[in-house]
Chains A and B, each alone.
Chain A
Amino acid sequence: MAVEKRVVFKSKWLPWVLVAPQVFIIGAFFFWPAAQALLQSVQQSDAFGTSIEWVGLENFRNLWNDETYLASFYTTAIFSVSVAVIGISLSLLLAVYADRVAKGALFYKTLLIWPYAVAPAVAGVLWLFMFAPSVGVVAYGLRAIGIDWNHLLNSTHAMTLVVMAAVWKQISYNFLFFLAGLQSIPRSLIEAAAIDGAGPWRRFWTIVFPLLSPTTFFLLVINVVYAFFDTFAIIDSATQGGPGKDTAILVYKVYYDGFKAMDLGGSAAQSVVLMVIVIALTVVQFRFVEKKVTY
C-alpha cells in the first residue's frame, strides 16, 4: 500500500481548517493537561492552591516511601495478572470449542458476546448483587457449603469479586479475537495432522496453540491495559477500593488522592508513573504489530 498519494488537492488553508477541530481538542484536553500533570508532579501546593513551591523529585521520593502506594502496586499486579490469565484461558477454552461446532455456532456466539455491551459500572453492580452478604444468592449458596462470604471484611473475597466481574466483562472481547484467530488457521494443516494420527488434544498443543500465539500475546497486552485502566468503574461500584485499601488499584488511588484527599502533587506524580506504564505497554503492543506484518 502506498504511504503517499501521488495526486493531491492544492489549497493553502483548507487542510488547516479540516484538522483544526481535532488539533484543538488534543491540544486543550490531552497535551496541555498532560504537561500540567508533569509540571505539578515537581511542585507542592497547599489545599487552597494559594502557594506553589518547587520541590523537584520530592513527590516521587514520597511515593517510593509511601507504603500504601507500594501496596497499591502489588494490588494492581495481582489484579491484572489474575484478570489477564483467567480471562484469556476461559475465552480460549470457549473459542476452541465454539470453533468445533458446525451447527449453532452463531447461537453460542450471540449469547457469549453481549457482556461486552454492559457498562463496567453496571457489571460491578450485577456482581455485587449476586455476592452481597445480605441478599446475594451466590453468597447464600456459598454459606450453604460452609464458606462465609463477606467481601466487605475479607480482602481475598473482595479481590475475587472484582476479578470475576472484570473477567466476565472482558470474556466476549477475548472470545471474538480467539475465534477469528482459530478460523484463520488453514484446515489442511489440521487435517494432515489428523491423517497422521494426532488426536484433538495433541493437535491443539502442537499446531493450534503455537499458531495462535500472536493472538494470545496481543490479548495479553490488551487485557493488562484493560485491567490497569478500564476497570476503575468496576472497582468503584463493587468495592470502592475496600476493605481498607485492599482493592485500590493504581488508577483508583490517583482518583482518590487527587479528588477526595486533594493531594495534587502526589496525585500528579502518580499520573506521571501511570503515563510511563501506558507508554511502555503501547510500545510493546506496536513492536508486536510490526512483527505480525513480517510473518
Chain B
Amino acid sequence: MVERRPLLTALTHTVLILGVVVIAFPLYLTFVASTHTTPDLMQSPMPLLPGSHFLQNYLDAWNGTGAGAGSKAPVARMMMVSLITALIIALGKIAISLLSAFAIVYFRFPFRNFVFWAIFITLMLPVEVRIGPTYKVVADFGMLDTYAGLTVPLIASATATFLFRQFFLTVPEELVEAARIDGAGPMRFFKDVLLPLSMTSIAALFVIQFIYGWNQYLWPLLVTTNESMYPVVIGIKRMISGGDSEMQWNVVMATAMMAMIPPATIVILMQKWFVKGLVDTEK
C-alpha cells in the first residue's frame, strides 16, 4: 500500500466482499437447491438455507433413480465418461505436442517449417467453424459414440506445441553435446533430460487442458447419441429438457454440483500451476 487511507481500505474490502458474494451466489444457490425436495423448491421463494435431503438427492442423481420428466441416466456413468475423456484429452495433447516440438527443435528434416506452421494455423480453425465436415469424418471412421470419437479430434494442440517449442529452445546446447558424448540417442535424451526439465510446463498445461476436456460441450453433443457415452455436462442439459414445471431441480442441481467438483478441485489445489498454465498458453 502506498499511503494510509482507512476510508479507502474499508471501501476496498466492501467492493471485494460484494464481488465475492455476487460471484459465489449462483454456486451457493446450487448447493442449497441440491439439498431440498422438489415441492420445497416449488414454493416461491425457495428456501435460502440448506435443507435435509442432501444425501437422498445426490444418491438419486448418482444412480439415476429420480422421478423427473427429463433424462434419467445415472450420473455415476456420466462422471466416468467425463473423467476418462478429460484425462485422454489432457494427456494426449501433452504427449503429441511434446513429441512434435521435440522433432521440430532437435532435428533437421524437409518441410520442418511447413509442419510447424501447419500445426500453428489450426489455431484459426476451432471446431465451431468446421462442425459439419468434421462430424462426417468421425462418422466415416466409425468413431461415433466411442471414446476415440470424443477425444482424438480434440487432441491436436497448437498452443501446447508452441509452448514446448519455446521452452526447448531455452534448454542449453551443452546438454545435447554432453548427451551425445556420453553416447545417448535422441529418445534417451528426450526421456532423461528434456522430460524432467519440462515437468513444470507439463503440470501447468495439464490443469488447463483437463478443464478444457471436462467442460467440452458442442463436440460431445454431436458425436454421442447413446446415453451410456454422455459426459456429465451433456447429461445435465438432457435433464432440463423435460419442461420447466415437472423438472426435478433438486436432482439437476445435485448433478451440477458433482459436475463442478472435479475441475474446481483441480483449480483450487493446483492454483499455482493453473495461473501459470493460463498465462503461458496465451503467449
Q: Which residues of B contact A111 (CB under 8 A)?
A: 20, 23-24
Nearest chain B CB to A292 CB, angstrom units: 10
Which has the most chain B C-beta neighbours within 10 Å: A25, A117, A282?
A: A117
Interface residues on B, range: 35 or more
Are B279 and A22 in contact (CB-based, < 8 A)?
Answer: no
Residue A71, interface by CB 8 Å: no
Nearest chain A CB to B159 CB, angstrom units: 12
Per the bound structure, the CA–CA distance linking A167 and B17 in Å amounts to: 18
Q: Which residues of A contact B45 (CB under 8 A)?
A: 137, 140-141
Nearest chain A CB to B32 CB, angstrom units: 9
Nearest chain B CB to A266 CB, angstrom units: 11
Are A23 and B118 in contact (CB-based, < 8 A)?
Answer: yes
Interface readout for B177-189 with A: 1 if CB under 8 Å, 0 if not?
1001000011101
Known pairs A15-B107, A26-B156; A114 contacts B264 (CB<8 A): yes
Q: Which residues of A contact B104 (CB under 8 A)?
A: 15, 19
Question: Which residues in chain B, 239-280, are within 8 Å of chain A measured between CB atoms?
Answer: 240, 244-245, 249, 252-253, 256, 259-260, 263-264, 266-268, 271, 274-275, 278-279
Per the bound structure, the CA–CA distance linking A176 and B2 in Å amounts to: 22
Closest to B208 in A: A116
Closest to A3 in B: B169
Nearest chain B CB to A136 CB, angstrom units: 8
Are A29 and B48 in contact (CB-based, < 8 A)?
Answer: no
Interface residues on A, range: 35 or more
Stretch at the interface among B58-66, B71-79, B215-223: B215-223
Interface readout for B199-226 with A: 1 if CB under 8 Å, 0 if not?
0000000000001001101100110000
Are B266 and A40 in contact (CB-based, < 8 A)?
Answer: no
Interface readout for B134-166 with A: 1 if CB under 8 Å, 0 if not?
111110010000000000110110000100001
Q: Interface SS of chain B: helix, strand, loop or mixed? A: helix
Known pairs A15-B107, A122-B236, A125-B240; A97 contacts B12 (CB<8 A): yes
Are A271 and B130 in contact (CB-based, < 8 A)?
Answer: yes
Are B130 and A115 in contact (CB-based, < 8 A)?
Answer: no
Known pairs A5-B105, A94-B16; A114 contacts B217 (CB<8 A): no
Are B129 and A114 in contact (CB-based, < 8 A)?
Answer: no
Residue A200, interface by CB 8 Å: yes
Known pairs A15-B107, A23-B118, A190-B2; A236 contacts B217 (CB<8 A): yes
Q: Which residues of A contact B1 (CB under 8 A)?
A: 100, 102
Residue A279, interface by CB 8 Å: yes
Which has the most chain A C-beta neighbours within 10 Å: B27, B166, B187, B237?
A: B237
Interface readout for A17-36 with B: 1 if CB under 8 Å, 0 if not?
01101110110111111101
Residue B84, interface by CB 8 Å: no
Are B237 and A112 in contact (CB-based, < 8 A)?
Answer: no
Q: CB within 8 A of A118: which of B108, B118, B264?
A: B264
Q: Interface SS of chain A: helix, strand, loop or mixed? A: helix
Closest to A172 in B: B23
Are A237 and B156 in contact (CB-based, < 8 A)?
Answer: no
Closest to A36 in B: B133
Are A32 and B125 in contact (CB-based, < 8 A)?
Answer: no
Per the bound structure, the CA–CA distance linking A8 and B177 in Å amounts to: 9
Q: Which residues of B contact A121 (CB under 8 A)?
A: 215, 217, 233-234, 236-237
Per the bound structure, the CA–CA distance linking A222 and B100 in Å amounts to: 26
In the complex, besides A14-B107, A101-B12, A112-B23, 15 extra interface pairs with C-beta distance below 8 angstroms are A7-B177, A22-B97, A29-B137, A33-B133, A36-B133, A113-B274, A114-B267, A116-B267, A117-B266, A125-B240, A168-B23, A171-B23, A254-B131, A278-B124, A278-B125
A residues at B contact (CB < 8 Å) = 1-3, 5-12, 14-16, 18-19, 21-23, 25-26, 28-34, 36-37, 40, 90, 93-94, 97-98, 100-102, 108, 110-123, 125-130, 132-135, 137, 140-141, 168, 171-173, 176-177, 180, 187, 190-191, 194, 200, 218, 222, 229, 232-233, 236-237, 251, 254-255, 258-259, 264, 267-268, 271-272, 274-275, 278-279, 282, 289
A-B pairs with beta carbons under 8 Å apart, 9 shown: A3-B169, A31-B125, A123-B26, A126-B29, A130-B29, A173-B278, A194-B2, A259-B131, A282-B123
Interface pairs A-B: 8 shortest CB-CB: A33-B133, A233-B217, A36-B133, A18-B103, A119-B215, A15-B107, A117-B263, A29-B153
